[in-house]
Homo-oligomer: A and B are copies of this chain.
Amino acid sequence: MSDTTEGDIGTTAAGNGALTGIRVIDLTRILAGPFCSKLLGDMGAEVIKIESADGDPVRRQGAVVDGFSWYFAEFNRNKRSVVLDLYSDTDKDVLAQLIGTADVLIENYRPGVLAKMGFTQERLDALNPRLIVASVNGYGSTGPYVDRPAFDFIAQAMSGFMASNGDPDGPARRAAAPISDLVAGLYCAFGVVSALQARTRTGRGQQVESSLTGGLISMLSYLSAEYFATGENPTRTGNNHPIVSPYGLFEASDGEIAVAPSHDTMVRRFLGVLGIAELLEEPDFKDNAARMRNRTALNAAINQVTRTQSVDHWIDVINKAGCPAGRIMELADVFTDPQVLSQDLKQRIDHPAHGPMYVTGFPVKLSDTPCTVQAPPPDLGADTDAVLRELGIER
């Protein structure tokens, strides 16, 4: 391919992923589970996605281009698709045979459903004692909410995440991205690989589980530490830092700049670049406590200077002075940013039937066994025949 500014497939030899040789049977659909199995596939695992004849509903959701859902593509590259009817005993037998060949089984049913389908933990143990059985669900598999249906928006509300976001006098705020799904999927992938490591010592598989609410609660650890220590809920502070000033968004001539001086040395660098470091000698601004009290006046003094130059100018000089600064970027800015392209965070896939498409790249880099896109998102059932043949089943 001629495009050298974006990552593309085929840059690394197949079969050299960190998880090469690991086989994952993937019963998940929609988002959290498929994100988990995608992460394992990106790392080189062979992922066999089991779908009903209708397919993962995501195949029909989001922006469908030329008959193909790019939402499906994003979360299902590096997978094979096998159609099975898990209401039929014949196909349940096929699943049982596949389980016998696998290292990992992933599901995101509500707790208990897999057992009701005939795959109790006892049976799974008997089929394959080395099997790691991974589950992603809403609330975990113990406790009073175990049977509740789950959804990202509810997990954002129930985890404390929403309540911490927003303006001091405004409502609690969700994040637009389904962050609880993806964090839960990432935790599950971490758990699966940790269980693989345990298996090298014990010779046995085990159960791994993560939940939308549990994962997002862990992402609040910084706020929770303060809550545990003081018994007080965090107060909403919009885009301002609750205990640091100056901090936040400031006005350049052509837009806003985000500046985050996390301690006094950085504050001095920031105001020094603006030519107003002498403010730090005044009683109103001499320390962080004084600057918190006089935040409005300080921000006005800063904006008076920052308004005289462009966003680009300030980001360059403030960073060079050693203080973190940046801009608020829309996705169109993100995916044309030279840094993001240098990090291969936009990946081109040439799908044999649907042509070029783009997906997010790899946020974790391994030098010798890098993540790669080795297979495009599969058409529904594209690998059914091949996988059945591998099992010695003729239909």
Within 8 A of B (CB), among A320-376: 322-335, 337-343, 345-346, 357-360, 362-369
A306: min CB distance to chain B, Å? 15
Q: Which of B138, B249, B338, B367 contacts A207 (CB 8 A)?
A: B367
B239 close to A173 (CB less than 8 A) = yes
B262 close to A206 (CB less than 8 A) = no
Is there a chain B Cβ closer than 8 Å to A31's Cβ? yes
Is there a chain B Cβ closer than 8 Å to A87's Cβ? no
CA distance A291 to B214 in the complex (A): 33
Is there a chain B Cβ closer than 8 Å to A238's Cβ? yes
List B contacts of A227 (CB < 8 A).
331-332, 335
A71 close to B177 (CB less than 8 A) = no
Q: Which residue of B lies closest to A164 (CB)?
A: B176
Q: Which residue of B lies closest to A152 (CB)?
A: B260
B219 close to A183 (CB less than 8 A) = yes
Question: A332 with B150: in contact, given A165-B173, A222-B31, A345-B214 (CB under 8 Å)?
Answer: no
Is there a chain B Cβ closer than 8 Å to A70's Cβ? yes
Q: Which residue of B lies closest to A365 (CB)?
A: B209
A23: min CB distance to chain B, Å? 13
A220: min CB distance to chain B, Å? 5
Is there a chain B Cβ closer than 8 Å to A272's Cβ? no
Question: A222 with B71: in contact, given A194-B193, A366-B207 (CB under 8 Å)?
Answer: yes
List B contacts of A198 (CB < 8 A).
17-20, 366, 368-369
Stretch from A48-56, A89-97, A141-149, A382-390 at the B interface:
A141-149
A364 close to B188 (CB less than 8 A) = yes
B151 close to A357 (CB less than 8 A) = no
Is there a chain B Cβ closer than 8 Å to A213's Cβ? yes
A343 close to B140 (CB less than 8 A) = yes
List B contacts of A262 (CB < 8 A).
151
CA distance A75 to B39 in the complex (A): 25
List B contacts of A294 (CB < 8 A).
none
List B contacts of A144 (CB < 8 A).
338-339, 342
B145 close to A339 (CB less than 8 A) = yes
CA distance A71 to B221 in the complex (A): 8
List B contacts of A39 (CB < 8 A).
190
A366 close to B195 (CB less than 8 A) = yes
A62 close to B226 (CB less than 8 A) = yes
Question: A363 with B172: in contact, given A18-B195, A74-B222 (CB under 8 Å)?
Answer: no
A179 close to B219 (CB less than 8 A) = yes
Stretch from A78-86, A155-163, A276-284, A296-304 at the B interface:
A155-163
List B contacts of A20 (CB < 8 A).
198, 201
Within 8 A of B (CB), among A242-297: 242, 247-249, 258, 260, 262-263, 266
Is there a chain B Cβ closer than 8 Å to A314's Cβ? no
A157 close to B329 (CB less than 8 A) = yes
A154 close to B324 (CB less than 8 A) = yes
Q: Which residue of B lies closest to A324 (CB)?
A: B151
Is there a chain B Cβ closer than 8 Å to A224's Cβ? yes
Q: Which of B62, B186, B222 contacts A229 (CB 8 A)?
A: B62
Is there a chain B Cβ closer than 8 Å to A189's Cβ? yes
Within 8 A of B (CB), among A21-53: 21-22, 31, 35, 39, 43
A369: min CB distance to chain B, Å? 5
CA distance A31 to B324 in the complex (A): 16
